[in-house]
Amino acid sequence: MLAELLKAHDEELRTGSELDRATDITRIGPLWLGRYAERGFVTYQGLEGATGADLDRLIQAAIEHFVADPALVSFEWKTRGHDAPADLGEHLVAAGLVEEDPETVMIGETAVLAVAGAAPARVVIRRAGETGDLPGDVRAFGVLHRGVFGPDSPNMDAQLLAALMADPTTNELWLAEADSRVVSAGRLVGVPGGRFAGLFGGATDPACRHEGIYRALTAARARSALAMGAELVYAECTQFSRPILERAGLMAVTTTTPYVWRRQPC
């Protein structure tokens, strides 16, 4: 089962699927390079055996592509733990990219994840925009997210709002509120033409953890994913959400580590 899920991950969730909402896409050898406003993204299914100096040249080509655009402030090179070569991270760091915290890629059946206990009585779980104030819901999500992940977490409110408005049928934001305050939230994004939907941006106020709120929020997103026709869901999760998703029936199939290049101020 694990091998089948990893195969599905590589075939259905990489390259074009990851760049579905990019404003432009460029190919350099095996690399797919996309742009989202001021940020870039690099993905691939494999590096065609590139190692050593050949790998360094491929990395440098990606850097030069993004450096040439003065409006772009950073880009992420997305690695997976099961990919070759094993020393890719060392080459990326040597080229000036910064390694960030790894996450675990979890995959499971949507129907299994959709079954959950109820949230605490004081908590209301709803889709963002249901009350008629989508911009306000997005701002509340941003406040929660930056509060959980720190003030250096980028403010992506405008980009998220635009994405939710552009494609509301496959791009959703879900909120858990207690006493009219957002205490947990996460996104649901359907993958066009495939069996998957992705769970992204999960965050819970530390004061409200261990109450089943995130689990109930995740189940609500899974039920919506079922309505989209998604048979499988995946998440790239932190140490906080991994145990919850494992208990819900998702399996860890690999890891992903971002390496980030940032333009230095003049």
Q: How confident is the model over 205-261, as pLDDT tens digits?
A: 999 999 999 999 999 999 999 999 999 999 999 888 888 888 888 999 999 999 999
Q: Which two tokens stand for residue 6?
A: 């990893």
CA angle, residues 167, 77, 45, in degrees to nearest 5: 80
Rg over alpha carbons for the chain, rounded to the nearest Å, is 19
- In this structure, are 179 and 244 located in the same domain? yes
If one counts the domains in the chain, the total is 2
Question: Which residue type sits at 155?
Answer: N
Confidence of residue 116 (pLDDT cuts 50, 70, 90): confident
- In this structure, are 122 and 251 located in the same domain? yes
What ranges make up the beta strands (E) of the chain? Answer: 24-28, 31-36, 39-43, 74-80, 98-99, 103-109, 123-127, 171-178, 181-190, 196-204, 232-237, 251-262
- In this structure, are 121 and 136 located in the same domain? yes
Q: Is 252 exposed, middle or buried (0-12, 13-18, 19+ CB in 10 A)?
A: middle
- In this structure, are 116 and 244 located in the same domain? yes
Q: What's the pLDDT at 239?
A: 82
- In this structure, are 82 and 148 located in the same domain? no
Q: What's the pLDDT at 21?
A: 81
- CA gap 3, 20 in Å, rounded: 25
- Its pTM stands at 0.86
CATH number at residue 73: 3.40.630
Most trustworthy range by pLDDT among 44-48, 193-197, 238-242: 44-48
- CA gap 203, 226 in Å, rounded: 22
- In this structure, are 161 and 243 located in the same domain? yes
Q: Which of 208, 223, 207, 217 is nearest to 245 (CA)?
A: 217
- CA gap 163, 229 in Å, rounded: 20
Q: What's the pLDDT at 193?
A: 79
Share of the chain above pLDDT 90, in %: 78
Pairwise pLDDT comparison (265 vs 128), residue with the higher score:
128
- In this structure, are 135 and 229 located in the same domain? yes
Please check the confidence at residue 64 and state whether its pLDDT lies above 70: yes
From residue 162, how far is each of 37, 96, 166, 168, 176 by CA, in Å? Answer: 11, 32, 6, 10, 21
For 239, the domain range is: 108-255
Please check the confidence at residue 149 and state whether its pLDDT lies above 90: no
Confidence of residue 266 (pLDDT cuts 50, 70, 90): low
Q: How confident is the model over 175-185, as pLDDT tens digits?
A: 999 998 999 99
- CA gap 140, 219 in Å, rounded: 21
- In this structure, are 219 and 146 located in the same domain? yes
Q: How confident is the model over 16-39, as pLDDT tens digits?
A: 889 988 899 999 999 999 998 889
Q: How confident is the model over 71-103, as pLDDT tens digits?
A: 999 999 999 999 999 999 999 999 999 999 999
